[in-house]
Amino acid sequence: MRTLSDMELRNLFVFTKRDMEKMFPNETDKAMGKSLQRMVKDQLLIKAARGIYVYAPALMRNGGRVIESVARALRPGQLSYVSLESLLSEYGLISQVPVSYLTVMTTGASGLHKTPFGTIEFTHTKRSIPEVLERTIVVEGRPLRIAKKRAAVQDLYRVGRNTDMIDLEELDDTE
Residue 48 φ/ψ, nearest 5 degrees: -85, -35
pLDDT at site 172: 59
Stated pTM of the model: 0.89
pLDDT tens string 13-28: 999 999 999 999 999 9
pLDDT at site 174: 47
Report the number of secondary-structure helices (H) and strands (E) in the chain. Answer: 9, 9
pLDDT at site 169: 66
pLDDT at site 112: 97
| pLDDT block averages, 10 residues each, the chain of length 175 | 86 92 92 94 96 91 83 96 94 83 97 96 96 96 94 91 71 54
Q: Which of 114, 93, 94 is nearest to 102 (CA)?
A: 114
pLDDT tens string 99-134: 889 999 999 999 999 999 999 999 999 999 999 999
